[in-house]
Amino acid sequence: MKKGYLLLALGLCLVAVAVAVAGVDFSGTWAMNAEKTTAANPAPAGGGGGGAGRGGRGGMGGGEMVIKQAGTDLSITRGQNETKYVLDGAEHTVTTQRGDLKYKAVLSGDSLTITGTQTTQRGETPLNEKYTLSADGKELTIARTMNMQGNEMTMKTIYDKK
């Protein structure tokens, strides 16, 4: 009898873990919202440069993006470029159009954080992106933190689900 309860408890734990891992699903076709992106990235004090929405690209590739998520596998396609990630928190390396990307991708609550290093012909560039899904699943915010001339800067791009 005790063995039956133990197996039942173990089964329930496994289901709970599976539900927790499944959690948020970023899948869908996403269109950049230029107005919200510009509003989320005000021009720095003293003028110069604009928000991430300037030029409609948002420093994030702008335009339409397709995300497919199945379990711990996630792919992001922008135009003809697709990048695949494994969402298990372990270090992985993937070859992209820009070069090799060594990364870790971690799901937590309503967000996905991807950190790592992109190696290109110009050297290494740190990568720090946080994808956050709104409660209703209709808006995706990507916050990308980068180092620009010795200053850390975060730019946000807002997408609407199509």
Residues 6+ apart with CB under 8 A from 151: none
The domain covering 26-161 belongs, at the CATH homologous superfamily level, to Calycin beta-barrel core domain (2.40.128.20)
pLDDT of residue 146: 85
Alpha carbons 31 and 41: distance in angstroms, whole number: 18
Q: What is the pLDDT of residue 56?
A: 36
CB 30 within 8 A of CB 161: yes
CA gap 31, 85 in Å, rounded:
21
Q: What does the pLDDT look like over 110-158, one tens digit per residue? A: 999 999 999 988 889 899 999 999 999 999 999 999 877 778 889 999 9
Evaluate if pTM is beyond 0.85: no
Span 50-83, pLDDT tens digits: 444 333 333 455 679 999 999 999 999 999 999 9
- CA dist 129 and 26 (Å) reads 14
Buried b (16+ CB within 10 A) or exposed e, 121-133: eeeeeebebbbbb
Per-residue pLDDT tens digits for 89-116:
999 999 988 899 999 999 999 999 999 9
94-to-21, 85, 100, 102 alpha-carbon distances in Å = 22, 8, 6, 7
